A and B are shown apart, each in its own frame.
Chain A
Amino acid sequence: MTRSPGDSSRYQVALRPPSQVMRLARMGAFYASRLSFMRVLLRTIKREGWRFDRRVWRIDDSGVGVATYCAIGPERTYTLVAYSHDLPDKMRSDRVIAEAWDATFTLFDGEPTEADIDRLSRNVPLQEAGRVSQSELVLSRANRSVRLFDHVIDRLAAGQQPDLAQVEAVGYLMRTTAVYGSGKFGAADRSIWADRPEFRGSFQPEMLTVWLIRAFTLDIVEHLAEASARGHGNGAAARIDPALRRRFGVGNSTGLGMAPYLVSHPALIHTWMAARETALARVRAVPTAQAEARANFADLVARARENAHTWTSAHALQSAKIEGLRADLAGLTEHLAAGALSERQPWEQLYRWAEGTLSLEGQEQLVSLMLEPYPELVDDLAEGMSADEDADFQIDGTMRLRRLSEILADVYGWALATDFTAREPRARVWYVSEEKLEPRLGERFEEPIEPFEQPLGPGRDAALLERAMIGWDPAETVAAFLLRHPEHRHIIRRAQTVGRNPYAEIRDNTIADTMLPIDLLRCKLSFFGATRFDPRSDRWIRIIMFQGAPYPHELAECDPDEWTYPPARSTP
């Protein structure tokens, strides 16, 4: 994996600098791409020829019971164990503080025995209040969409297809409200499976879990429709048409629990960003685009327009951004029709045009679209999208303060120029509430929460460090400084990590009064491969995962990459 933007010398086009990429407004405009983890997973499964088997289906007519889905790879089998519950409407909540769900899941490492299923039945439904073991990789849960779930059952039970407009308006039957991996609640540590070839990259067990959950949501709704039809003496219920099935993804509600992740995992985030930026630089360096490539790209843009056309959000900020995107894509379509890609270095020309013409939403949508036609330039970069964070842990105490100052000036220049004695730049406090240990964001000057502050304001901390270094000999070592100032140990470790990994740090103030947590959420979720970002406030967001994707039983016959954008309609 490339560790530095300087690596771009192999290519004709430099990587975009971190000062341009690592800004919250731009990160909050990122889109799924070929490098997104859902795409990576489906390519791996397709390449390795995995098989799938719904081994257990013991679910009664009220929808209560257990099901298992085995995903059988060349070397190992993984099994989604799904517990389906009867949840009263009033208990259904997407908030992390909920205590019951419509369905709960774990991804089992192997094929579970009946004893495993029994053990898990006493823990998985409890989620955070239960314990799983090293045999489990992921713990998750989901709630039914009140808007769509019963509609689909009723239509199918009456022998009809669900209403397409309603399916499109929601996009999923169930929403996951948490997908926990990597050692959480007793599950296997990442180190247990990180070396397995099928899980190279990031979040692959989590993505596999969600993809199998999607299959479960379709199975359970058809099962309940069948039961309903039987109960009403209607004969057999309808099955959902294959084309319509594809329009169901898995919803997800994500709140502040995920927001600190991008700040807390700097070395990992560098690998994600560097992969995406390297891919962009490679495509921008392509010398010419053939007629076929131009036509394919125009088709892709038409599909992205269709996607933008059907993407809605009730949130004022996001709906304005969607409006801007639609205008941008219309402008892009005209620009292409005027022969934009016929010059030499067509993608470089197009990208430069976009930077001068389009909104951030439009620019970042274009970046993701430009990667689509070039799997041979892009897809290998996915393998580098993970980091051994332990390797970055040890502080280099032999570093001179002169070098540390250079890093601070380079990475945190904006922070060193900020007056942190004012209230606005430090108005917010990230803290963890004792209720369900949920990360929250509070107001420093309105709530008594400062003593509980999490280390999620690196800009402010860098500014404090710089002030503490005044009067120190630049030739002195970090080790000597830390003996006097252990309170700066955290930010020094971080600054050194960022010094080695330039995309590791956000160049914005994560504790400012104007900061929008949804920008952090969207950035991370775009790397997952999520679509239809729909903020519900400035600090939680709904998305859809795997909408349009093939199902496990279809993948062998499908292109694993041909689903991110919906088919274009004939009249744009």
Chain B
Amino acid sequence: MSWSLGEAQALAIKAARGAGYSWGLAEEAGFSVRWLCGRGLPGPQALAAMLATVDVQPMLRPDPAAPKWISGRGALCPLALGAALVDRQTVPGESCQFGPVQSPLLLVPFVAQLPFDGKFVLKWDGAGFAFDHGHIAIVGSPAALIAPRGVCTLQSGQLSAANTPTATTRVPLEAQPHIEQLLGFAARTYAPATDQSRLAGAGAGTTDND
């Protein structure tokens, strides 16, 4: 039962909204998951894990007053952090650290949008992404890629022995359990059906079988 990227994106938006994100940040979740899925990376898994954590303990947003975005109190939300980085449209510097970031894989699609001049690398414990003018290469075990949290370093440079991800147009079957988790979050955005909504809400009432 393979999913289209558009379905995965729409589901990610609904799931993030269901977990309590504002619509604008929920759309960023959709962007992030679609970007990852399109490169064969486990976006649904990372989002499902992140939302499960959000459910228990709210993520921190980047603090406007503390531009380094290092937290001593808890994990930063990768969606809020990623959106804030992209909004600024500036490279934070030669080398900088963020975090710890929850499900840092979700941050990668945002970093890929930054207007870097040259080669740069995003790393966390055991995982690294190298960006070179639109070309992307990856180092890291599957477990490191979906690390629950990590302190991220962003710096100019490149990675050795990195692999280029394979572009794909479908969400792989292995994602199904995580898709199911996301469906659970998405279901929170649906209003329970009532007789009133069934009739008035959809505007029935005249015959539709003629």
Contact = CB atoms under 8 A, between A and B. Distances in A.
B2 A93 contact: no
Interface string A379-405: 000000000000001111110000000
A442 B192 CA distance: 12
B101 interface: no
Interface residues on A, range: 35 or more
A143 B207 CA distance: 14
Interface in B45-86: 61-62, 64, 80, 83-84, 86
Contacts of A443: 200
A471 to B, nearest CB: 15
B208 A93 contact: yes
A488 B203 contact: no
Q: Name the residue in A432, A441, A486, A517 with the highest tally of chain B Cβ atoms < 10 Å from its Cβ.
A: A486
Contact of A452 (B2, B7, B23, B190): B190
A517 B6 contact: no
A213 interface: no
Nearest to A483: B64
A435 interface: yes
Contact of B86 (A143, A394, A517): A394
Contact of B193 (A147, A435, A479, A489): A435
B57 to A, nearest CB: 18
A331 B84 CA distance: 59
Nearest to B170: A134
A496 to B, nearest CB: 11
A94 B208 contact: yes
A36 B25 CA distance: 35
Contacts of A394: 86, 113
A480 B64 contact: yes
Nearest to B196: A447
B109 to A, nearest CB: 11
Interface residues of B, number: 47
B87 interface: yes
B86 A537 contact: no
Contact of B209 (A89, A183, A396): A89
A145 B192 contact: no
Contact of A489 (B25, B169, B203): B25
A489 B61 CA distance: 14
B188 to A, nearest CB: 9
Interface stretch (A4-12, A54-62, A185-193, A555-563): A185-193
Interface string B171-190: 00000000000000001011
A185 to B, nearest CB: 8
A187 B4 contact: yes
Given A89-B209, A188-B4, A440-B202, A490 B87 contact: no
B169 to A, nearest CB: 6
Contact of A482 (B27, B83, B196): B83
Given A255-B203, A440-B201, A395 B169 contact: no
Given A184-B7, A186-B3, A487 B24 contact: yes
A189 B23 contact: no
A514 B190 CA distance: 25
A145 B202 contact: no
B210 interface: yes
A432 B25 contact: no
A433 B193 contact: yes
A540 B202 contact: yes
Contact of B203 (A89, A432, A482, A539): A539
Contacts of A189: 4-6, 169
A524 to B, nearest CB: 16
Contact of B202 (A478, A479, A482, A539): A539
Interface of B: 1-7, 22-25, 27-28, 31, 61-62, 64, 80, 83-84, 86-89, 113, 169-170, 187, 189-194, 196-198, 200-206, 208-210
Interface of A: 89, 92-97, 131, 133-134, 143, 145-147, 182-192, 253, 255-256, 314, 393-398, 431-435, 437-438, 440-443, 447, 449, 452, 455, 478-480, 482-484, 486-493, 517, 536-540
